[in-house]
Chains A and B, each alone.
Chain A
């Protein structure tokens, strides 16, 4: 096995350090006099021993083996990989935001509470909802929080039989998973050949046991559910609530609001539409907005504005309780607030306009070379099918890997599950036409290669630091941590 990139543990050498702590200035007492023997660690944790330069070289080398939005185009569908503004990072690092403790007296954190309150007010307006909580840490956490509120709402009405949550077959995996964690059973509603929720099927599955319908609009095919008003009627008539998964909110920002569409609960992914960076997988932030009848069930505490300033209200008898220690991922919320304030009303509206323009432009230019399962205007993202290429022996996975050779992050692949050999492409509004054209050209070239020289696609990537990795063995014989060799000199 070739180990081109050593682990930090493999760079370790006893006697090196990369920290600087002050000398102990209180009388030194041996820790063994303060902690009973049984509780004094005898075997030291195997942590690295490196110098500061070793450390920086290690992580710099790792960063070079990673692709971010700043490295190049990242059209990962449903993830909204837009540019992450740098002022956001600077603001979040201000000492008055980064170094405040969540349990400080309220009068010492009025600036933080004011920012949170104002962010909530902005998100209420943007979504058309009556109240917002910033507590959920990410989208899936918001989904579960919203469903717990819906459960509490039904139960407060003496309705304990609403055990089912309806999700479309095109839904994100988190929707059914969140429903399960919240204690519901998931019922799937089919999509029509047009890629929209089948209203007849919805009428069939909805009933007195329906707690809620979870919907992404536009859906994961990038298509706006144009029968939304009718769907809301069907669900509400049956006594259910309508849940909006905000993963695709970038498509409708300033153009339509979930609150106006009849949704009762909404979550937003501030790390998507509102530029909190994705951080290599997180942290995110998943605020939840609700209509007035669900306000009593919001997680506590709730930020209120009183005569003597902002305060945290814990006295919420019908609250579902706390969903997270403290008040949410504040640092991400600071970034999102900074972004909203950088954009203003016109800027926010332009976001969805360009996001949709870019997606439609790419879709039209690529439609000639790849199968377009849903031939209509898309919103912020669209899906292509690689079934034409599959007949040539080139799978969507191969196309994705070949894109790596062109310096692009591939689209989301094999999702939604209802499209064969699916590629889900979301360009976002922050990309230039030149970038879109370069990606389109690469996709066209790959389509030609699939016909003329399929091996080059099947064997891709050719330029990355590693070739395709053996995922089967990784799962069959998991190696999930480094083990120090037995007879090491270190």
Chain B
């Protein structure tokens, strides 16, 4: 018996667990094709652009060796399960029901692609149809798509849709919208030559007077976040009429968990609601992949970007699901498509659906309420220690606290105590230097909150 060569230099007969062809298979296949070697099949690549060298990449590692190396690399990171985290700013450490990962690990889901062949993709299609329903229920909107990359790009696409729909070029966006979302909007706007005008905040929410002053017949949309970046609850009831008076679209970016307790933006007349489903079943994983959602009122249905799943029947009258209204999409309309999106975040939409099914009607409300109560408890306790907040309005699970010291110094001290502190607002809002954005989710215990309050309150941290 001869032992085949492993990773033999210059030999194409590589023995690797992902490559099933044997030397015998290869020879038979070459014979069928009518060539002497695999190299002959690459003869159409001009010699001057053929890569004849060896790629300077690290040598292959066996599974156990690689596992050991990458586990050690992961260990170099401080994770939010080992530390106590009060960091949010758009990404949150929430309860993920154990069932979520068991469903995601069904390889029938994760090794499939976009359900182009509905007869063998009913599982994925139905799961997306259920996801679309859940997004509509939470947001109070009529139609939701099957997902976007994340909350930030979903918001950018909402702005593009608004400009295309209204044929207007000016976008008003509140500075109380997530700074990174605003940056993404600005990048997308450049391509379409849109003017993005930022509306200042006042008292932690969008300055309505400033907004009113900027409103005009040239405004494509008004964009606010609910709850906003500071955790504050924007007065949607007052903002919607300002937008609609000038026939501008009202776009709301919303944390879907908050909508377990808050009046949905759809009820206030929002035309487009977007956001990130990350709070439902999706780990923080260094910022991605998360899962954007995109919901509209019925009149915008045929302009929504991305995949949509619709219910129909088969030849025998049995209920089934298909990708539908595809005439909006890039593979049909090419340069006239409503968006260029192709791959989306389907698996994370599934994660969110499973988490929402597990939490259900009662759990979503309970979890959202716990966030409010724990965050308010933390704020009250910090205030008892003499720390103040610049904003007095109602908030969800995040609030701003004035430290009067560099936030990075405080966070360094907190780290030593096993705590990941809140977000340093100074970088994005110079006027809020020395202010920390604190997130308190349902996972933070009273003991952890008290410890955090003690560290901040005593001025040790």
Known: A70-B111, A84-B110. A353 touches B38 (CB 8 A): yes
How many angstroms between the C-alpha atoms of A7 and B193 in the bound complex?
44
Check A281 for interface membership: any CB of B closer than 8 A.
Answer: yes
Known: A38-B263, A111-B76, A280-B110. A2 touches B449 (CB 8 A): no
Known: A229-B48, A321-B183, A343-B60. A1 touches B111 (CB 8 A): no
Check A361 for interface membership: any CB of B closer than 8 A.
Answer: yes
Contact residues, B204-254 vs A (CB, 8 A): 233, 236-237
- Residue-wise, chain A 455-468 has the 8 Å CB interface mask toward B (1 for contact) of 00000010011111
Contact residues, A307-345 vs B (CB, 8 A): 320-332, 338, 340-345
Check B260 for interface membership: any CB of A closer than 8 A.
Answer: yes
Contact status B113-A278, CB under 8 Å = yes
How many angstroms between the C-alpha atoms of A64 and B124 in the bound complex?
10
Contact status B358-A97, CB under 8 Å = no
Contact status B112-A66, CB under 8 Å = yes
B residues near A228, Cβ cutoff 8 Å: 46, 49
How many angstroms between the C-alpha atoms of A84 and B30 in the bound complex?
27
B residues near A431, Cβ cutoff 8 Å: 20
Check A257 for interface membership: any CB of B closer than 8 A.
Answer: yes
A residues near B412, Cβ cutoff 8 Å: 105
B448 CB to nearest chain A CB (Å): 10
- Residue-wise, chain B 367-401 has the 8 Å CB interface mask toward A (1 for contact) of 10110111011000000000000000010000000
Contact residues, B71-91 vs A (CB, 8 A): 71, 73-82, 85, 87, 89-91
A residues near B288, Cβ cutoff 8 Å: 102, 137, 283, 324-332
Contact status B361-A342, CB under 8 Å = no
How many angstroms between the C-alpha atoms of A139 and B191 in the bound complex?
18
- The segment from A169-177, A202-210, A442-450 that touches chain B is A169-177
Contact status A114-B67, CB under 8 Å = no
Known: A19-B97, A29-B373. A59 touches B354 (CB 8 A): yes
Considering only CB atoms, which chain B residue lies closest to A258 in the complex? B49
Contact status A465-B357, CB under 8 Å = no
- Residue-wise, chain A 78-101 has the 8 Å CB interface mask toward B (1 for contact) of 010111110101111111111111
A residues near B184, Cβ cutoff 8 Å: 321-325
A residues near B36, Cβ cutoff 8 Å: none
- Residue-wise, chain A 32-66 has the 8 Å CB interface mask toward B (1 for contact) of 00111011111011111110100110111111111
A401 CB to nearest chain B CB (Å): 7
Task: For B336, give its contact among A112, A180, A325 (CB under 8 Å).
Answer: A180
How many angstroms between the C-alpha atoms of A44 and B259 in the bound complex?
10
Check B115 for interface membership: any CB of A closer than 8 A.
Answer: yes
Contact status A344-B75, CB under 8 Å = no
A residues near B358, Cβ cutoff 8 Å: 18-19, 52, 55
B74, B81, B121 — most chain A CB neighbours (10 Å): B74
A residues near B123, Cβ cutoff 8 Å: 61-66
Contact status B117-A97, CB under 8 Å = no
A residues near B270, Cβ cutoff 8 Å: none
Check B411 for interface membership: any CB of A closer than 8 A.
Answer: yes
Contact status B138-A45, CB under 8 Å = yes
Check A182 for interface membership: any CB of B closer than 8 A.
Answer: yes
How many angstroms between the C-alpha atoms of A147 and B190 in the bound complex?
12
A residues near B337, Cβ cutoff 8 Å: 173, 177, 180
A residues near B187, Cβ cutoff 8 Å: 148, 299, 320-323
B residues near A95, Cβ cutoff 8 Å: 74, 79, 81-82
- Residue-wise, chain A 477-490 has the 8 Å CB interface mask toward B (1 for contact) of 01111100000000
Task: For A103, give its contact among B87, B186, B325 (CB under 8 Å).
Answer: B87
Check B201 for interface membership: any CB of A closer than 8 A.
Answer: no
Considering only CB atoms, which chain A residue lies closest to B358 in the complex? A18
Contact status B315-A148, CB under 8 Å = no
How many residues on B have C-beta within 8 angstroms of the other chain's C-beta atoms? Answer: 211
How many angstroms between the C-alpha atoms of A255 and B112 in the bound complex?
28
How many angstroms between the C-alpha atoms of A186 and B396 in the bound complex?
46
Contact status A277-B95, CB under 8 Å = no
Contact status A480-B309, CB under 8 Å = yes
Check B1 for interface membership: any CB of A closer than 8 A.
Answer: no
- The segment from A20-28, A236-244, A388-396 that touches chain B is A20-28
B424 CB to nearest chain A CB (Å): 9
Contact status B102-A56, CB under 8 Å = yes
Contact status A67-B311, CB under 8 Å = no
Check B454 for interface membership: any CB of A closer than 8 A.
Answer: no
Known: A104-B78, A361-B32. A64 touches B73 (CB 8 A): no
Check B403 for interface membership: any CB of A closer than 8 A.
Answer: no
Contact status B116-A76, CB under 8 Å = yes
A342 CB to nearest chain B CB (Å): 6
Contact residues, B261-289 vs A (CB, 8 A): 261-264, 283-289
Contact status B339-A181, CB under 8 Å = yes
B residues near A50, Cβ cutoff 8 Å: 357, 360
Task: For A9, give its contact among B79, B133, B326, B344 (CB under 8 Å).
Answer: B133
How many residues on A have C-beta within 8 angstroms of the other chain's C-beta atoms? Answer: 207
Task: For A67, give its contact among B112, B285, B353 (CB under 8 Å).
Answer: B112
Contact status B325-A475, CB under 8 Å = yes
How many angstroms between the C-alpha atoms of A324 and B292 in the bound complex?
11
How many angstroms between the C-alpha atoms of A456 and B250 in the bound complex?
53
Task: For B325, give its contact among A8, A45, A255, A478 (CB under 8 Å).
Answer: A478
Task: For A432, give its contact among B9, B20, B449 (CB under 8 Å).
Answer: B20
Contact status A47-B191, CB under 8 Å = no
Task: For A346, give its contact among B14, B42, B160, B309 (CB under 8 Å).
Answer: B14
Considering only CB atoms, which chain B residue lies closest to A400 in the complex? B117
Contact status A34-B120, CB under 8 Å = no
Known: A35-B233, A325-B184. A469 touches B313 (CB 8 A): yes
Known: A331-B288, A377-B43. A21 touches B95 (CB 8 A): yes
Considering only CB atoms, which chain B residue lies closest to A262 in the complex? B49
Contact status A183-B193, CB under 8 Å = yes
A residues near B129, Cβ cutoff 8 Å: 7, 480-482
Known: A70-B111, A126-B57, A181-B191. A87 touches B363 (CB 8 A): no
B residues near A190, Cβ cutoff 8 Å: none
B191 CB to nearest chain A CB (Å): 4
How many angstroms between the C-alpha atoms of A186 and B56 in the bound complex?
37
A354 CB to nearest chain B CB (Å): 5
Contact status A183-B121, CB under 8 Å = no
Contact status A108-B77, CB under 8 Å = yes
Contact status B14-A350, CB under 8 Å = yes
Contact status A67-B108, CB under 8 Å = yes
How many angstroms between the C-alpha atoms of A299 and B61 in the bound complex?
32
Check A418 for interface membership: any CB of B closer than 8 A.
Answer: no
Contact status B44-A354, CB under 8 Å = no
A residues near B56, Cβ cutoff 8 Å: 125, 345
Check A474 for interface membership: any CB of B closer than 8 A.
Answer: yes
Check B334 for interface membership: any CB of A closer than 8 A.
Answer: yes
Check A298 for interface membership: any CB of B closer than 8 A.
Answer: no
A residues near B132, Cβ cutoff 8 Å: 480-481
Check A109 for interface membership: any CB of B closer than 8 A.
Answer: yes
Considering only CB atoms, which chain B residue lies closest to A37 in the complex? B263
Known: A323-B187, A349-B55. A280 touches B408 (CB 8 A): no
Check A200 for interface membership: any CB of B closer than 8 A.
Answer: no
B12, B160, B335, B354 — most chain A CB neighbours (10 Å): B335
A77 CB to nearest chain B CB (Å): 11
Contact residues, B18-33 vs A (CB, 8 A): 18-21, 25-26, 28-30, 32-33
Known: A24-B373, A283-B347, A344-B7. A255 touches B119 (CB 8 A): no
Considering only CB atoms, which chain A residue lies closest to B346 in the complex? A281
Known: A104-B87, A474-B311. A94 touches B115 (CB 8 A): no
- 13 residue pairs from A and B, CB less than 8 Å apart: A1-B319, A9-B133, A19-B367, A83-B18, A102-B288, A140-B340, A173-B330, A224-B45, A252-B45, A330-B286, A330-B287, A346-B9, A404-B120
Known contacts A8-B353, A470-B312; can you find 12 more A-B pairs with CB under 8 A? A31-B261, A96-B71, A97-B74, A99-B93, A101-B93, A138-B149, A141-B149, A183-B192, A282-B149, A323-B184, A328-B288, A465-B119
Sorted from nearest, which 7 A-B pairs have the closest CB atoms? A326-B287, A96-B74, A344-B60, A102-B287, A111-B76, A279-B347, A281-B346
